[in-house]
Structure 1
């Protein structure tokens, strides 16, 4: 990404395709620019000498070095215009024109050519198929939308141009303003990562928000957003949820880790606050833009209405917040000032006849308590309560104590003047207590994000050549699905495996069993039979004298189940004491956008039924791997629940990291399951493996 200053703060803008024809896109964009832009507008169209009172030139070359070119011409011509922009030194281009990748193979070819031209000349190109861009500090409205945005501190990107027009219209009605607005279009060159990075450097932008249907380069987005969110909150709505990734999956991990789960993991790792609705997007953004971050996640609720107070308490219970426990000094202040029928504990019920003085006194006491991180002022209208005065007191106390406050002054028309005063001070007012709590919750979430520490992944000493050799052997056989014959891959990356070998006749099986010296586990080895236990393809506790017959039986079962299956032999393996361990699963499914998506959870035969798993985008650090173990519901089993001996948690964390390195080093591995990875007090050992490679 180059410097985007000329995109958002140009001195001269050329509209290529400007026209006096009303009802056309070129006319709408030219009109919007003329009416508000602080700089110079240049019209480019060889068919006119003048457009809307402005002299018109025939080409960009004659436009006099514009900082920004807005392209509104047919798709075939657009390609040549973008090339001309590069040749004459224009660095910023917005391609409004549709008819590219969104229209099929011919359009996709055209878009690839557009991208190549833009990269050849180092252009900052928005689009194609874009509504355009806005920047309120310079009055720039280079869109064909019907409205200008109000000035404000939110910068907004959207993959839907129509959504932008609706949002700007609604935001104008709500008094919500923006710094920059970008319609991403097809994202041929500039994408969400570029704008997140650019807006972080913009002093005018306090919060970055967006509507996305997809993220082009997931890993790059995570890396950039992690740095950005240390300073600037990012709140996104991600739509287009799909199970396409799961439909194509053949492993446990792939079945569970569909595309939507990848976005959940990726956005969480990026430090992005994910909104589930447009309302939640702007509730969170408004709070983050205008309120200080709390010192804690505790909230005090001051209310004159018992029912709404209970509703707010329920909402707090559903969030990461907690109801504050007041100190004794605060409780004493409440007892001295509140009626006997009031409630001095949280939520603080100051009773229905409360006036502004009682409200203000209770709010002052709560905000002064060091155990309180934030507050909610919650009120139903009464004849003795003046909402405008209550709003003024709330504003003053928020400023005095420097703690975040949300308001829930419930009602209709009588609320409007008070809500306006609160809004001027950056205090949002909501009718629904749950919305008020959710907005405070976004502050607590961002507080957590700001406090995160990120480490580099550990680089282990591994045998990459051995893995390459094993993958090449499978490729030579024409196998893209590999089972226990690939256990050596894990061994090469330092993940412990049981002693054993893959053998191709009963005599070899007996030899290996003899060397192990105890009862063994025997498994059929076939790339065509991935779930071996389903067909009786696994035998546990086979005595040495039974190994020959067990070998013959396993091969027969495989042949009967699938006559055309490629049977590579039988794995003879030492027995791992499962009674002392916990069966876990470590896996990976390669997501198209985010790359290798790691999975950890409770393993064995119940993994898909229980789905007690957590996910991360690889590579992961030791801290992130440890976080995965913490997050599963079965974590107490690993730590000695119900009298069990705790497992070696460090060994499990290391196994996750080593798998992370493996799948990062070998992008042709598209799916991988270690199921189970048995965690014991003495370490962790991989019992079985299944992987899929891209041929």
Structure 2
């Protein structure tokens, strides 16, 4: 068993492959797969079809179970019609074939009948503990053994990139282009419908594979966001993971009622989850392979400072602009480097960064400039850019770039701008692990990817903190709402925040004017009064909030609030009026804490500028819960309005530690209670001496709350205390 791919070695390094549905019919998938296997596969190909005794000079068997020594068959490739495909997979399982690729379409992608067939396929795979790819898959490839168990037109070039895709057509197109570009692969898998094995399984396997230098993926969705984050985070410690995710959706398309739902749509969940996992997400296919080339061929830079060496002023300026748009910086050369450049470059040359060796530069001048730049301790990486001239030989220049990069051990990206004249030179660069780009911006973005991955590889993962909270009180508050038939809660749920240690103003829900007055008299100063109704969530819009109410006006304010609510919605359930301590909003900054539960990634926690501006400015950061202290800090520091929290224009700085802790506590709350579907704390007023959660609203799934009941044998936190 090949240890490089661990539990999935039988998929990528089989010794015997059975093709169930093999045929010699011209233009058929069954024929294409057998021919592809016979072309390069180092192992044995075994055709299975009851209509043949022999195919392509190979013995053909009527069923998988009829194959001699069938227990030595590592991989079964199923290409029979959908009506008998499930039974064919069952035969593989019964015969002891543990790895199966189902090429056959006509499953979940075709409607209810196909979906039912796919469920049956999954049940069979689980019963026999099969590693199953597909259905509706192009197949799998692995270049070390010459395996091409696909019906694609050709095998991939050998290399160290492993590649997965939900689209089989994307694989064939990408491999065709990659072959022309000289880009090689180790393993390739078409995920198909992902009935059993999915992206998480392959990220985990390739992360453990020392022969895979970069993991690439084209995904339309992730089945289990949490599991994927865990697998990708572990893999990305040593192996870059680069993904292009299609199907971006407009933020808020699935919003129900909360600001968070509006601001944190499906794509925001992917953006947050992939970032937390250390995945480099790219915008398009070009970037996917640009990044793959440089990550697999070049070392990581120690810093962010880049030197540019060129013979063309205009493209040099373009490269400089691209650096300005990235997280990279133009390096400042040392005095020694400047002296060397001044001595070796023509008087007309620019010896500052970018180095313009001017149009008559030959290879020797380029090499001198590059040698001085890479030898400078202030330089971490370089872009070498050359337009074609009569005095420059691209082949010699490429050899020089490879030699200087290897000597200094710093990453280099090349931009040899030309067509046919560059072909041989690009091959030389590829052999040295240096990618070549026609567009300088692509070269800079690729170097930027090295910096991004360096930050990922250096990032230490920390477990989220677990706070001492009153989970039972929180459950009681949610349970009482469910008993009333409410699935949307407002200020009546403020105690939920208090139970999890998020500071709230003193407040009481009064059911009568007398109770309201008594509550107000217990509070120092004027109060805030808010109508409490699960049917009226946007209280301010109907005049359901009164701020700065004195004791003498409380009873009249109570009556007025109830009347306004009745006039707005006669059938609304009125639970009372909340009488709350008045928080001086002007003494702090209004922020928002929120959560929207994503179908794939689970609770998506949000932080941003709050109050009435939250949906106007949309200045927010999101992460998948549970969040660590570092991640919560990144959220607070990541918003555009962060200077306000740091004390801009003479304001006192907000208590950042209190905001960060509140984010962590909210993260724990929504992780503990999957029944909470949406939640807004808006505003959370952040002042110099702490925070106050002034308002809250949330949506609860009553059925899920029942499922949240803790194990009766599991002691509460209080019981564990001495």
* Alignment TM class, shorter chain as reference: over 0.9
Alpha-carbon distance, 1:84 to partner: 2.0
**1:487 aligned onto 2:491:** no
* Contact 1:326/1:369 (<8 A) preserved: yes
Q: Distance in 2 between matches of 1:29 and 1:385?
A: 47
Over residues 12-59 of structure 1, what are the superposed CA-to-partner deviations in whole Å (9 max), with x where a residue is unaligned?
A: 101111112121111111111122211111111122222222111121
Contact 1:246 1:257 in 2 (8 A): no
Q: Distance in 2 between matches of 1:249 and 1:289?
A: 44
Task: Give the 3 Å change call, closer, same or farther, for CA 115–282 of structure 1 in structure 2.
Answer: same
CA–CA distance in structure 2, aligned partners of residues 527 and 341 of structure 1: 76
Give, in whole Å, the separation in 2 of the partners of 1:497 and 1:546.
24
What's the TM-score, normalizing by structure 1?
Answer: 0.98
Distance 1:472 1:80 in 2: 48
CA shift, 1:106, in A, is 2.0
Residue 132 (1) aligns with residue 136 (2) = no
Counterpart of 2:18 in structure 1 is: 14
Please point out which of 506, 519, 527 is paired with 1:520. Answer: 527
Q: Which moved more, 1:485-494 or 1:404-413?
A: 404-413
CA distance in 2, matches of 1:409, 1:35: 36
1:237 aligned onto 2:211: no
**How is 1:499-578 mapped onto 2 (pairs within 5 angstroms)?**
499-578=506-585
Q: Could you tell me which of 108, 112, 116 is aligned with 1:109?
A: 116
Mapped pair 1:36 → 2:40: yes
Matched residue SS, 2:24? coil
Change (3 A) 1:349 1:272: same
Measured in 2, the distance between the counterparts of 1:159 and 1:392 equals 39
CA distance in 1, matches of 2:98, 2:527: 68
Cα separation, 1, equivalents of 2:416 and 2:47:
51
1:127, CA displacement in angstroms? 0.5
Equivalent-residue separation in structure 1 for 2:290 and 2:358 (angstroms) = 28
Name the structure 2 match of 1:50: 54
User: Is contact 2:6–2:208 with CA below 8 Å preserved after alignment?
Assistant: no
Q: Does 1:404 align with 2:411?
A: yes
Does the 8 Å CA contact 1:207/1:288 hold for their aligned counterparts?
Answer: yes
Q: Write out aligned runs for 1:365-514 (5 A).
A: 365-514=372-521
Instruction: Name whichever of 254-263 and 237-246 sits farther off.
Output: 237-246
Q: Counterparts of 2:113 and 2:436 in 1: how far apart (Å)? A: 50
Gaps of at least 5 residues in structure 1 are none
Q: 1:509 to 1:607 in 2, by over 3 A?
A: same
Query: Which stretch shifts more, 381-390 or 498-507?
Result: 381-390
1:449 & 1:139 partners in 2: Cα distance?
A: 33
RMSD: 1.3
* Structure 1 position 200, deviation (Å): 1.6
Deviation readout 1:621-649 (Å, 9 max, x if unpaired)? 11111111110111111111111111211
Aligned equivalents of 2:84 and 2:251: distance in 1? 36
Aligned residue number for residue 62 of structure 1: 66
Partner of residue 714, structure 2: none
User: What are the superposed Cα offsets for residues 85-127 of structure 1, whole Å, 9 maximum, x if unpaired?
Assistant: 2222111011111111111122222212211221222111101
Structure 2 CA distance for partners of 1:243 and 1:109, relative to 1, 3 Å: farther
Q: Which residue of 1 aligns with 2:610?
A: 603
Q: 1:171 aligns with which of 178, 181, 186?
A: 178
- The Cα shift of 1:244 comes to 7.8
Aligned equivalents of 1:2 and 1:109: distance in 2?
Answer: 32
Runs (5+) with no aligned partner, structure 2: 703-722
Quote how far apart the aligned CAs of 1:367 are.
0.1
Cα distance, 1:421 vs structure 2: 1.4
User: Given that residues 362 and 392 in structure 2 are in contact (C-alpha distance below 8 angstroms), is that contact kept between their aligned partners in structure 1?
Assistant: yes
TM-score normalised by length of structure 2: 0.95
Residue among 254, 262, 277 paired with 1:247? 254
The worse-fitting range, judged by mean Cα deviation, of 248-257 and 652-661 is 248-257
The 10-residue stretch of structure 1 (579-588 or 77-86) with the greater mean CA deviation from structure 2: 77-86
Q: CA shift at 1:81, angstroms? A: 1.8
Pairing 1:265–2:272 present: yes
Alignment counterpart, residue 154 of structure 1, candidates 135, 155, 161: 161
Provide the aligned length of Structure 1 versus Structure 2: 695
The DSSP-based 3-state class of the residue aligned with 1:266 is helix
In 1, the alpha carbon distance for the partners of 2:440 and 2:318 equals: 7
SS of residue paired to 2:253: helix
| Of 21, 31, 51, the match for 1:27 | 31
SS in 2 for 1:494: coil
- How big is each residue's C-alpha offset from its partner over 1:364-388, in whole Å with a ceiling of 9 and x where there is no partner? 0000001100001111122222222
Kept after mapping to 2: 8 A contact 1:2/1:122: no
Judge conservation of contact 1:245–1:591 (CA < 8 Å) in 2.
Answer: no
Per the alignment, residue 659 of structure 1 pairs with: 666
- Distance in 1 (alpha carbons) for counterparts of 2:81 and 2:473: 54
Q: SS of the residue aligned with 1:57?
A: coil
- 1:287: which partner in 2? 294
Task: Name the structure 1 match of 2:720.
Answer: none
Asked whether the 8 Å contact 2:251–2:267 carries over to 1, the reply is no
Q: Is the 8 A contact 1:93 1:125 kept in 2?
A: yes
CA distance in 2 between partners of 1:137 and 1:213 (Å)? 28
Distance in 1 between the 2:58 and 2:308 partners? 59
Residue 208 of structure 1 is matched in structure 2 by 215
Question: CA offsets per residue over residues 502-529 of structure 1, 9 Å max, x none?
Answer: 1111111111001113200001111121
**Alignment partner of 1:685: what SS?**
strand
